[in-house]
Amino acid sequence: MKRPTLKDIAKEVGVSVATVSYVLNGNEKQSISEETKDKIIQVANRLNYVPNLAARSLVKENRGL
């Protein structure tokens, strides 16, 4: 079985991948309803979503963070 992705969560909740990313990364600058945040977190937990640390490190490396 493949690892769940942000896209899988977004599809199930009915939101964009960006919205899922904002919620799971704790971005407070985006106005996302508590209901939507709760749904995203519930689906992520149910699917046993684990962030891809290799992809995350590449993003940080490219941003110079």
Which residues touch 21 (CB under 8 Å, ≥6 apart)?
Answer: 6, 27
Q: Which residue has the tokens 């896209």?
A: 7
pLDDT of residue 58: 67
> Mean per-residue pLDDT for 20-38?
94
Residue 40 within a domain: yes
- Examine the pLDDT at 8 and tell me if it is beyond 70: yes
Report pLDDT digits (tens) over 34-50.
999 999 999 999 999 99
Residue 58 within a domain: yes
Nearest partner of 49 among 16, 25, 15, 14, judged by Cα: 25
Contacts 24+ apart (CB under 8 A), 42-45: 43/9, 43/12, 43/13, 44/4, 44/9, 44/20
- Examine the pLDDT at 65 and tell me if it is beyond 60: no
Residue 44 within a domain: yes
Q: What is the pTM of this model?
A: 0.81
pLDDT of residue 63: 61
- Which DSSP letter does residue 16 get? -
Residue 1 within a domain: no
Residue 10 within a domain: yes
Count how many domains the chain has.
1
Q: Which domain holds residue 41?
A: 6-63
The domain spanning residue 36 has which CATH number?
A: 1.10.260.40
